[in-house]
Amino acid sequence: MIIGIIIWILNVLAIAIIIRSLLSWVDPMGRNPISQILIQVTEPVLGPIRRLMGGGVGGFDLSPIIAILLIQVIAQVLSQSVRAY
């Protein structure tokens, strides 16, 4: 039950990261209230990844892609741990 909720939260976080990435194309400064909320929710995940990477590749920020991959791996491991019992 609790692991199911955690997996759901991880999926919502992945969707929020995708939406933030898409909104950054039309609102790069994050002035829209929805953009500001998404930045507050996703930056604790994206910020550390961005710092570890030391910048993007050719000016392209890869942290959302890496974060989504990590979230999916964590969700998969949690899902498999539930099936093991």
pLDDT of residue 76: 96
Domain residues of the chain, as ranges?
2-84
- Closest by CA to 46, choosing from 32, 4, 30, 31, is 30
pLDDT of residue 6: 96
pLDDT of residue 84: 72
The larger pLDDT score, comparing residue 79 to residue 56, is at 79
Whole-angstrom distance, CA of residue 79 vs CA of residue 31: 37
The pLDDT tens digits for 2-59 are 999 999 999 999 999 999 999 999 998 989 999 999 999 999 999 999 999 876 677 7
- Is 0.85 surpassed by the pTM of this model? yes
pLDDT of residue 82: 80
Could you tell me if 19 and 32 are in contact, meaning their C-beta atoms sit under 8 angstroms apart? no
